[in-house]
Chains A and B, each alone.
Chain A
Amino acid sequence: MPNDIAKGPVAPGCEKVDPILIANNVRRQFGGNVAVDVEHVEIPRGKITALIGPNGAGKTTFFNLLTGFDQPNSGDWSFDGKNLAGVAAYKVSRMGMVRTFQLTKSLNMLTVMENMRLGAQKQPGESLLRALFKPLWIKNEDSITATANELLTRFKLDAKAEDFAASLSGGQRKLLEMARALMTKPKLVMLDEPMAGVNPALTQSLLEHIKGLKAEGMTVLFVEHDMHMVRNISDWVIVMAEGKIVAEGPPNEVMKNPAVIDAYLGAHHDSDLGADKIAKGK
């Protein structure tokens, strides 16, 4: 089946027509354990890409490396044509590449609304001197509050806006973290297991939101174990195992790939039952 994503033949590490993120020889070792050893990978712009693989495959470590939260032993990568190796995490985020964390990081003693506002970029009031003069930042504050309210409504957190984030449930925190990341107006959102702990009813609407992000021109890269979600929304699937990219391609073809079944589905055949679980309302 032809596709508009890969440039040439589909194979692990293949070139893309319009990549937003390109990584080369990224390697990270923890002692003797090679957690990530990615020879070459390209993430297509404006698409939803799923990064899947068994537990311990190195997906989160790869996220950490790409976003500057961890340093590789070797390798380089670029985002939107700009070299990112060695760039500090906050600068990566400012360039428009924003990630969420597998272990949710809600800022507990801030309200949900303050969490959201924190995500907004280029706030005049975040400079120490200008912070002292409210008229200099109150307009900006009002406009980011409006944006935050829209997002909170979308993520069904609007009723919680003035509550401490600590009072949210685990699933709600996932949602908050995702909404907060969107406050930065990213070009590329990297979500580490966004659906873990989110109830099935909301999963469905979240899937729609993520498709909506794509419609707005964002690129999405997400890690997920829920095969239903992967199949449902992704345009492209990349499979990692033992630190390496072992397969990639359009979702339906990747799921049939013997290397994938071997590396992933073979061990966890029931993780393919995401859709059935939802049907049962579990």
Chain B
Amino acid sequence: MDIIFGNAVDWLFQPITAAYALAAIGIALHFGFTGLLNFGQAVFMAVGAYGFSISVKVLHFGFWPSVLVALIASVIMAFILGIPTLRLRSDYLAIVTIAAAEVFRFIVSTTSAQPITGGPQGLNEYSDEFWAMNPIPNGHYKFWVWDYTEDDIFARAVAWGLVIAFAILLAILVRSPWGRVIKGIREDEDAVRSLGKNVYSYKMQSLVVGGLMGTVAGILFVLPTSVQPGNYGTTLTFFIWTILLLGGASTVLGSIVGAMIFWSLLSLTSDLLSAGVDNGVITFISQNQIGDIRFMLVGIGLMLLVIFRPQGIFGNKKELYFNA
């Protein structure tokens, strides 16, 4: 039992959890504060993952130049998505982002792109320089049921450090006059236009900044593991949206707590189900169905959340009354 809860608690602080939290912070800026429907956060993450790993593996750049390449690619991607759509109604951005994410995934996973992107196999072993920066002495660090290597701790520290830094950045931005303009755009962009603000430019800035958060999340996502094209499908985007709505779209902390709850709940349900099946308590499913069933359970949990707490965990109930 300790192991099961140990796993669930471990998931609270996994680098993956941090990556999802950060990507969700980006969508919070896009959707929660600016009203932009970005259904392609996966593409910004993929740009981060591929931009970084290709720079290291193929171009033989160092760690920091590779990060820079990914960030520049992210800004370019934001412009490609934003220029044709941000003057139009908000649904257009939704369609274009979702399509762009899929197109990007198909392109990087074709076999003809193999020499650069690794094709269907993806890429790995680009993190040597990252691990070399780890100041923590080698060894095993044990707490309760966990046993971490120095790299595990380093990856977690860096990932969560960045999440906190970006959460603070978002908090500062949305409390500033700049944040007031984007919130105004979320409410009614014509009103904001009539007050002399260049709405198009603000939407673009928001798209770029939130996209950069997705890109940094994409790098965090792959640093401790490998780049797999299959990871950047629509599921990734929808998990991030789930996390955002779980925590509350127009909040800063919601994304972080949402990601923690999402991942530790997933771990908890699958471990509990698995233990149940092993002990013969649960007889109507088999071990290999658990992976799918836990998502169904999470889905039910989300439905309950939407019914009983539609504003998300951190959201302001008032906001919903008014929107109704």
| Most chain B Cβ neighbours within 10 Å, of A106, A109, A141, A183 | A109
Contacts of B198 in A (CB 8 A): 88, 90
Give the Cβ gap from B77 to chain A, nearest Cβ, in Å.
18
For residue A49, CB closer than 8 A to chain B, the reply is: no
Pick the contact of A126 from B169, B197, B323 — CB < 8 Å? B197
For residue A117, CB closer than 8 A to chain B, the reply is: yes
Q: A131 and B318: CB pair below 8 A?
A: no
For residue A180, CB closer than 8 A to chain B, the reply is: yes
For residue B279, CB closer than 8 A to chain A, the reply is: no
Q: Give the CA-CA distance A108 to B250 in the complex, in Å.
A: 14
Which of A28-36, A94-102, A252-260 faces chain B? A94-102
Q: A110 and B184: CB pair below 8 A?
A: yes
For residue A125, CB closer than 8 A to chain B, the reply is: yes
Known contacts A125-B176, A164-B318; A107/B191 CB under 8 A: yes
Contacts of B183 in A (CB 8 A): 107, 109-110, 114
For residue B181, CB closer than 8 A to chain A, the reply is: yes
Give the Cβ gap from A182 to chain B, nearest Cβ, in Å.
11
Q: B322 and A108: CB pair below 8 A?
A: yes
Q: B176 and A93: CB pair below 8 A?
A: no
Pick the contact of B196 from A93, A101, A177 — CB < 8 Å? A93
Pick the contact of B173 from A98, A99, A132 — CB < 8 Å? A132
Contacts of B322 in A (CB 8 A): 108-109, 164, 166-167
Q: B195 and A93: CB pair below 8 A?
A: yes
| Most chain A Cβ neighbours within 10 Å, of B196, B318, B323 | B196
Give the Cβ gap from B71 to chain A, nearest Cβ, in Å.
15
Q: A105 and B190: CB pair below 8 A?
A: yes
Q: B176 and A181: CB pair below 8 A?
A: no
Q: B319 and A109: CB pair below 8 A?
A: yes
0/1 interface trace, chain A 232-263, chain B, CB 8 Å (1 if under): 00000000000000000000000000000000
For residue B124, CB closer than 8 A to chain A, the reply is: no
Q: B180 and A98: CB pair below 8 A?
A: no
Contacts of A114 in B (CB 8 A): 180, 183
Pick the contact of B194 from A89, A125, A126 — CB < 8 Å? A89
Question: In chain B between 167 and 215, which residues have their CB closer than 8 angstroms to a CB of chain A?
Answer: 169, 172-173, 176-181, 183-184, 186-188, 190-199, 205, 209
Contacts of B180 in A (CB 8 A): 110, 114, 117-118, 126
Give the Cβ gap from A145 to chain B, nearest Cβ, in Å.
11
Q: Give the CA-CA distance A183 to B184 in the complex, in Å.
A: 15
0/1 interface trace, chain B 59-99, chain A, CB 8 Å (1 if under): 00000000000000000000000000000000000000000
Q: B195 and A98: CB pair below 8 A?
A: yes
Give the Cβ gap from B17 to chain A, nearest Cβ, in Å.
27
For residue A121, CB closer than 8 A to chain B, the reply is: yes
Q: Give the CA-CA distance A118 to B195 in the complex, in Å.
A: 7
Contacts of B196 in A (CB 8 A): 90-91, 93-94, 98, 121, 184
Q: Give the CA-CA distance A241 to B124 in the complex, in Å.
A: 72
Contacts of A105 in B (CB 8 A): 188, 190-191, 194
Contacts of B250 in A (CB 8 A): 109
Contacts of A107 in B (CB 8 A): 183-184, 187-188, 191-192
* Residue of chain B at shortest CB distance from A165: B187
Closest CB pairs A-B (n = 4): A125-B177, A131-B178, A166-B322, A131-B176
Chain B residues within CB distance 8 Å of chain A: 169, 172-173, 176-181, 183-184, 186-188, 190-199, 205, 209, 250, 318-319, 322-323
